[in-house]
Chains A and B, each alone.
Chain A
Amino acid sequence: MTGFKIIPRSQSSFLAQLLVPVAAIVLTLLAGSVFFTLLGKSPLASFYAFFIEPLTSRYGIGEVLLKMGPLLLIAQGLAIGFRARVWNIGAEGQLLLGAIAAGAIALQFELSDSVWLLPSMILAGTLAGAGWAAIAAFLRTRFNANEILVTFMLSSIALQLLYYLVSGPLRDPMGMSFPQSAMFGDAAMFSPLLSGTRVNTSLFLGLVATLLAWIFVQRSMPGYKLLVSGLAPGAAGYAGFAANRAVWLGLLIGGAAAGMAGVAEVAGPLGLLQRNISPGYGFAAIIVAFLGGLHPIGIVFAAFFMALIYVGGDMSLVSVGLPNASTTIFQGMLLVFYLACYLFVNHRIQRQVASGTVASAEVGGSDADHTGSGATGHA
């Protein structure tokens, strides 16, 4: 055996939680400078484009906030489920359903200038997102179907549904048969927040969600306790009632948040329904949730950082001439390093002087426990 051993901490290390993102970023910068040099680009100019350039102009800041909105909203919703080990990886589909529902209302009342139009779109989108996630919750609680797979496949179905609607029933009759809807009326749009930018009032949805998530988690509301205990291994996992409640709660909250984010996209920067609605927000938000340590405050920083990389990546295409794929690779590297560093939040590394003997006799007993809870947690 090697001279090191991984030992679980009895309590997550707060310090490690703060240091992990920093370490991941530093490692990414180091690996990134090698990567950019290999591409024949100046690492400094590349980093400047990625991290600083977006923040040097009003427009750039607006873009970062615009991109941050949906990431923040979805990640807050997902993190609540993730903490309870409910793996909703289909936020992309729930987002699309939210967008479709809101879009259908906006198109139905195209000429309306009612102040209630946008709120009803938000409500419909939120419900649609939650409803799409509810399918997975139902199949999990009723038939025991793994929610990772179901939520994922529902995303693929949602995409086809969107394709069908924009090239059929919701297509703009005056739009030359292009697969997209008519533009929404002004009453169906979020109003701009900062002049000269695209950021709009939907950003508040993300901030309110953060506040709610923080209260929910920090105040340890009964619902949250139930949620976490419901699927915790070794706890009352076999009590089907609590587990089912946790699955429902986790998926519905995540779906509702994603649906709301879908509304914000179509009633914000897009202003219509088209085939291309989300540049993968639903998947990126999973990463944001983990990057933020599944903590409401951490997620705010993670969402901001992720948005910065996205916007910076787009800017670097123009200003440094980096290839499109470099943003993708840069994000991938960041995540990989982050996930590696995250080990230290819940574990510590102990140096062993000499390799000890394996006490296998004791292990047998605790194994049985683990196996039991694992099966209930996942099958």
Chain B
Amino acid sequence: MKSLLKNAVFKFRRLSWRDPAGLLAAGVLLLGLSVNAVAADKLKIGYIYPSPVGDVGWAYELDRGRQAIEAEFGDQVESIVVENIPEGPDAARIMNQFAAEGAKMIMLGSFGYMNDGLKLAKRYPDIKIIHASGYKLADNMGNFQTRNYESAYVAGMSAGYVTKSNTIGMVAAYAIPEVVGIINAFTLGAQSVNPDVTMKVVWLNSWFDPSKAQESARSLIAQQSDVIFSIYQDTPSVVTVAEEEGVYVVNTSSDMKKYAPKHLLGSMQISWKNHFIEQTRAVLDGSFKGIAYWGGMAEGAVSMESWSDDLTAEQVAALNAKITDITDGKFHPFTGPITGQDNKVMIAEGETISDPDLLGISWLVKGVETKLPK
């Protein structure tokens, strides 16, 4: 059916503008053909990303998840990808267009698509939706997140090893719980090997502002930071500044070794591969349920890549040992005693934070100098 449509369209390309009758016929034929030209045997999956896919970063990793689905299921699936859609009222239109094109599974790549996604889920019970980083669920709408705090803790340890000024600078997007959790875990990790470390944070209030991210990194370097932590910046902006200025850098989402071959300390890689394949299989065999997925090291959703050669063998061994402990469930980064910025004990000795508390975390640990934006 699809190829028929393509064929028809291809033929029309050769029609001349000077041939009104032919054009009219073409138009009528197209009208007839276009209505739900769905291939019955294939699962159509719509993907909507908030930013351009590019070379690294958030949308790039989502797209790698899509590629994993295609590699796994081959001819059983067909993808429709739309990138760079702002989280405004227009996103709903794209989702509905997926539905009109016969998509039975939709991946929503950003928090801001949540409410429109929920409306879509209610309207089309037969369409299965998976949504990145939201918190609302339906029978046919699940969401997915990674336990980035696990890798952040280990990355923080590496930063604690290499810093000489004991000042670490962070360039962060928004002060949402996920980012706050990452900052805390990174700080706790650094303090575990170097108790004197303090953190400075610049809040960008944007997922995507390469030049401001760079200016922020430079300002942090000027304020004695010798390790920069780039949190959720979708371009290699911060990483390239660090390489240029000769300070270490840790980044999230993708491995950015090629942008800072000398000074990348390590990358907190995320991978949606396993989860996406699992969910697609569930849609294909009819067992899909809207679940909240929170994948960590144990699930293969987060990992550390490209440790710097400047770390000593003992340090790398300690880092890898910690990774093993986290993967095996023997260690949780948020294990008390943990003190907040105002010296209050937030998690008592021997206790571990609960998942719901961590999902809504809105306080910073002691050692982070910057306050949360009000």
Query: Which residues of A does B touch, CB under 8 Å?
Result: 30, 33, 37, 42-45, 48, 52-53, 56-57, 59, 63, 163, 167-168, 176-180, 183, 198, 265, 269-272, 274-279, 310-311, 314-315, 317-319, 321, 324
Contacts and interface: CB of A to CB of B under 8 A. Distances in A.
B135 A176 contact: yes
B117 to A, nearest CB: 14
B112 interface: yes
B177 A177 contact: yes
B90 A279 contact: yes
Contacts of A53: 34
B89 A265 contact: yes
B9 A42 contact: yes
A151 B360 CA distance: 40
A120 B137 CA distance: 33
B97 interface: yes
A45 B85 CA distance: 22
Interface in B242-258: none
Nearest to A44: B12
B88 interface: yes
Interface string B79-115: 0101111111110111011101100000000011001
A195 to B, nearest CB: 11
Contacts of A321: 80
A63 B93 contact: yes
A311 B89 CA distance: 12
A265 B46 CA distance: 26
A270 B96 CA distance: 16
Given A44-B26, A318-B46, A177 B175 contact: yes
B89 A269 contact: yes
A322 to B, nearest CB: 10
Nearest to B114: A178
A365 B222 CA distance: 64
B348 interface: no
A151 B92 CA distance: 31
A324 B51 CA distance: 11
Given A265-B89, A269-B89, A279-B90, A45 B9 contact: yes
Contact of B30 (A48, A176, A179, A271): A48
A271 B176 CA distance: 21
B136 to A, nearest CB: 11
Given A44-B9, A59-B100, A176-B135, A317 B89 contact: no
Given A53-B34, A56-B31, A318-B46, A179 B174 contact: yes
A276 B94 contact: no
Contacts of A177: 174-177, 180, 362
Nearest to B87: A276
24 contacts: A42-B9, A44-B15, A45-B12, A45-B30, A48-B30, A48-B34, A52-B31, A56-B34, A63-B96, A168-B374, A176-B135, A177-B175, A177-B180, A177-B362, A178-B176, A270-B89, A272-B115, A274-B112, A314-B94, A314-B97, A315-B93, A315-B97, A318-B98, A319-B101
B9 A319 contact: no
Nearest to B12: A44
Interface in B325-374: 359-360, 362, 373-374
A225 to B, nearest CB: 39
Contacts of B84: 324
Contact of B97 (A48, A198, A310, A319): A319
A175 B283 CA distance: 30
A176 B115 contact: no
Nearest to A325: B84
B176 A176 contact: yes
B223 interface: no
B13 interface: yes
Contact of B87 (A30, A59, A167, A274): A274
B205 interface: yes
Given A269-B89, A324-B82, 17 more contacts: A30-B17, A42-B10, A44-B9, A44-B15, A52-B31, A56-B31, A59-B100, A176-B135, A176-B359, A178-B176, A270-B89, A274-B88, A276-B112, A279-B86, A318-B98, A319-B97, A324-B84
Interface in B1-52: 9-10, 12-13, 15, 17, 26-27, 30-31, 34-35, 46
Contacts of A52: 27, 30-31
Nearest to B89: A269
A63 B135 CA distance: 27
Contacts of B15: 44
A314 B93 contact: yes
B82 A318 contact: yes
Contact of B111 (A45, A59, A178): A178
